[in-house]
A and B are shown apart, each in its own frame.
Chain A
Amino acid sequence: MRARQFDWIRMVAIVFSVLTVATVCGIFLFLLAGSVEAWRHEGFSFLAKNHWAYRKQFFEAAAMIYGTAAVALIAIVLAVPIGLSTAIFSSEICGERSRLVLKFLVELLAGVPSVVYGLLGVLFLRNWMQTLYEKGNLEVYSGDTLLTAGVLLAIMVLPTLSTLFDDAFRSVGSKYRDAARGLGLTRAETTFQVILPQALPGLVGALLLSFGRALGETIAVFLVVGRADNRFPKLGGVLHSLVDAGQTITSKLGGAETNIAVGDKLHTSALLGLALVLFVVVVGLTLIADVVRSRLSSETVA
C-alpha cells in the first residue's frame, strides 16, 4: 500500500456534496422558521380547515392541499397506463436500436419547458375540455378546472414516467428473460409474470418520483387550474369539484399574493407555510421512492 496522499478530487467531491445537503437543509430550516408565525396563528387548522382570505387574516389551506393532491393524482392515474405500455414496448418488444431512438425521443419530450405545455394548455386543452363538458351536459363554469390541470400534468409527467419505467424493466437481468423463454413461456407471460414482479420496486419508485414532480409543477398548472380559492368539496361533491376551478399550492405561490404579502409578516409566513407543506411532502415522497427502490430491488435480485 502506497503512502496516503492528499486526495483533491475526494476533497472537492465532499465539499460539494456537503454543500448540496446543506442547501436542502437550509431551505427546510428557512421555510420552517419563516412559517412559525402562521402555525402559531392557525395551528392545525392551517392544514385541516378551509378558509383562505388574507385581508381578514384567515390562512386555512385545506382547499389548496386538496387541489394539489387532486391534480397530481389525476395526472398519475392517467399517465401510468400509457407510461407502462410505452415502457413495456420499448424495453421488451422493440429491438435495441429502435429502443434507443424511442427513448431519445421520449426524453426529448421531458426536456420541453413547462411553460410551453402551459401555453398549449391555454390555447387548446382548456377549450377542448370545455367543449367536452358541454357535450356531456355538465353544468360547468369554464375550461379551467382541476381535471384540465390534471390532464395537462399527465402529459407532462408521461415522458419522465415512461423512461423511468423503461429503466426499471431493463434493470431486470436478461438471465430471467432467457430462462423464462427457455421454459417455453410466451412473451406476454414473460413480461407480466417474470419481468413485471422483478421490476416492481423500480416501477413504484418511478411512480413516486413522478408524483412528486406533478405535485411541484407550477406554471402549467397555474395557467389552466382557474385559481379559485376555497373550493373544498364535501364528500359527495368530490367528482364535481374536479370539473370546477380550483387552486393548488403552487398556483397560489405563483400568483399575486407573494407581492401583496411583502411587509405583512403573517401573510408572508402563511405563504412560506404553504411552501413548507409542499417541500416536506415532495422531499418525503422522494426519500420513500429511493428507499423502496433500493430495499426491494436488493431483496428480489438476490
Chain B
Amino acid sequence: MNLSKVTSQIAIGIMAFGAVSVSAASLRINGSTTVNPVAAEAAEILRAEKKADITVDTQGGSSGGIAGVGDSSIDIGMSSKPIAQDDRAKYPKVNFVETKIGHDAVAMVVSADVYNGGVHFLTKSQIKDIYEGRITNWKQVGGRNERIVFLNKEPGRGTWEVFAKYLYGDPKTAPEVNHPEVGGNEETRSKVISTRGSMSQLSSAWAENNPKIKALGLKLDSGQVVTPTAANIANGSYPMSRPLFFITNGSPTGEARNFIDFVLTPRGQELVKKHGYLRLSDLSRPAKEAAQPIAKPAAKVVPRKTGR
C-alpha cells in the first residue's frame, strides 16, 4: 500500500459525509426525513407515469434541504420547519418560497418498557427536567426504577426545533445539553426500540403501528392530557405540531412546479395521509386557502433581512 493511495482514501473518508451527492437528474430533492416518504413515493409515481427524472435524498434533514436550496445544489428542499430569518440572512440572494403540503406532530416517544412501566404522559416541566438532566430515573415521573436514556434529535432537525420551541419559546435559548444524539427518523425509531428506558423526539407518524415504541401524551397546564392523534393535531389542541414544506428558490417552475402541484392534488394528498400525516384538507383552520388544487403556492412572504 503506498502513501498516495492511503492519503486519498483518508481524504475521501473525511469528505464522504460533507459532500451532497452530485447527480445529473433534472429534478433534485433533498432534506427532511419526515417529508421524505411522501416525496419519494410521489417521485416514484411520476417516474413511472411521466418518465420524470427525479432523485430524492435525505442528507442533513431539514437544514440540509434549506442549505441545498440556498446554494442551488438541489431544486426542492424538504423541510419540517419554516424558513427562519437566519436562513434568509445566510443566503441573502435566495428568495426562499415555502409550499405547505401537510401537517405533522412531534411526539415524545419512549421504548415500550417505559410505557408499560406506567409512564403514559408528561408535563412540560417534567420534559424540561429530563432534557436538562434534573430527572434521570423513570420512577421520578411515575414509572419503574430505571435510568432515563434521552436520545436527543441532533440540532438542525425540524423535529428538534419544534421540540425546543415548545419548551423554550425560541430554539436559540435552549440550554446546552450533552445527550447522545440521533439523526433521521429511521435511526431515532430503531434506537428507541432497541434501547431500554429510552426517550426521544420523533414525528408522531413514525411511532404508530409498532408495539415497541409508544408516543406519550402531554399534560397541559389545564390538567388535560392530549395525545398526538390526528384529531388533536387537526384541531390544534396538541401543541407540538408543525407544517411540512417544500422549499424552492422563487415560485416553483418547470419540473419542480409539476412535482409540487402533483403532491397538492387529491391523489398526492392521499400520499400525505398514507404516511401518517395530515392532509391540508384535514386541518380545521388553514385548510381553506390550500384545499383547492393550487395555482399559486401558499408562500409566506417574509421581508428579507440583509446582513446579520
Which A residues are CB-close (under 8 A) to B10? 212, 216, 278-279, 282-283, 286
Closest to A259 in B: B60
Q: In the complex, which residues of chain A have a beta carbon less than 8 angstroms from the beta carbon of B9? A: 213, 216
Q: Give the chain A neighbours of B64 by CB distance below 8 A.
A: 259
Stretch at the interface among A96-104, A138-146, A176-184, A189-197: A138-146
Taking the nearest CB of chain A, how far is it from the CB of B235, in angstroms?
Answer: 33
Partner of B4 from the list A21, A143, A144, A218 (CB cut-off 8 Å) is A21
**Which partner residue on chain B sits nearest A51 by CB separation?**
B176
B87 → chain A closest CB, angstroms: 9
Q: Which listed residue, A27, A141, A250, A259, touches B67 by the CB 8 Å rule?
A: A259
CB distance from B78 to the nearest CB of A (A): 13
Contact partner of B11 among A27, A142, A260, CB < 8 A? A27
A262 to B70, Cβ gap below 8 A?
yes
Assembly CA distance A16 to B189 (angstroms): 47
- Name the contact of A250 in the complex, choosing from B7, B11, B13, B196 (C-beta under 8 A): B13
Interface size on B, residues (CB 8 A): 47
* A258: chain B residues within 8 A (beta carbon): 17-18, 60
Q: Given the known A-B contacts A24-B4, A212-B10, A216-B13, are A227 and B181 also in contact in the complex, defined by CB atoms under 8 Å?
A: yes
A209 lies within 8 A of B60 (CB): no
Known contacts A209-B6, A226-B180, A287-B3; decide if A23 and B11 are in contact (CB<8 Å): yes
Is B169 at the interface (CB under 8 A from chain A)? no
Number of A-B contacts (CB under 8 A): 130
- Please state if B155 and A229 are interface contacts (CB–CB under 8 Å): no
Quick check: A228 and B156 within 8 Å, CB to CB?
no
Within 144-169 of B, Cβ neighbours of A (below 8 Å) are at: 147, 149, 151, 154-157
Interface size class on chain A is 35 or more
Is A156 in the interface zone, CB < 8 Å from B?
Answer: no
A131 nearest in chain B by CB position = B196
Asked if residues B16 and A53 are in contact (CB atoms below 8 Å), the reply is no
Name the residue in B11, B67, B198 with the highest tally of chain A Cβ atoms < 10 Å from its Cβ: B11
- Listed by A's residue number, 25 A-B pairs whose Cβ atoms lie within 8 Å are A53-B176, A56-B176, A130-B196, A142-B151, A142-B191, A144-B180, A144-B191, A209-B6, A213-B9, A216-B13, A218-B16, A227-B154, A228-B178, A228-B180, A230-B178, A256-B61, A256-B157, A257-B155, A258-B17, A259-B60, A259-B156, A260-B155, A262-B71, A283-B10, A286-B3
- Besides the known contacts A142-B195, A218-B13, A286-B6, 18 further A-B residue pairs in the complex with CB atoms under 8 A apart: A24-B4, A55-B176, A139-B147, A142-B198, A144-B191, A209-B6, A212-B10, A216-B14, A218-B16, A223-B187, A228-B180, A256-B154, A258-B18, A259-B60, A259-B63, A279-B11, A282-B10, A286-B10
Residues of B within 8 A of A (CB): 1, 3-4, 6-11, 13-14, 16-18, 59-61, 63-64, 67, 70-71, 89-91, 147, 149, 151, 154-157, 172, 176, 178-183, 187, 190-191, 194-196, 198
Instruction: Report the 8 A-B pairs with minimum CB-CB distance, sorted nearest first.
Output: A263-B90, A254-B17, A259-B60, A226-B180, A245-B180, A256-B156, A227-B181, A256-B154
